[in-house]
Structure 1
Amino acid sequence: MVKIKEENGQFIVYVSGAIAASFPTKTEAETFAAKQTQYPTQEETLITDNQEDVPNGLRD
């Protein structure tokens, strides 16, 4: 959970109750908070069926 609080002229971003970062503007704090709540994108990997490392080309 992400929260933003203004304290002493700084915008403090809390992630799971702990201070994650502080910014001079609310816009910067909101941008940081949005990035903290996004899941990383998964890269797709193509798995190929190759024949290397198989003696005599035979498989079990």
Structure 2
Amino acid sequence: MDITRVVFEGGTKDGTTDTYKNLDTDSNLLFDTPFEPEELYERTTETTILDGVEHVVFRLKV
């Protein structure tokens, strides 16, 4: 099982981290909740270290 640790930049999720299982390496993440506007976060080639753990950076597409 492949685990991807993600950090979001921009939008309502700015600075939020999450963990996904079996996330495709070219996938983007779309959040469409009833109380917030739809937000598309694009995967970047960047990574960052948080608490000693590598996270993939997803940036809000505007």
TM-score by length of structure 2 reads: 0.24
- Which is richer in strand? 2
Q: Which has the higher contact order (CA 8 A, sep 6+)?
A: 2
- Which is richer in helix? 1
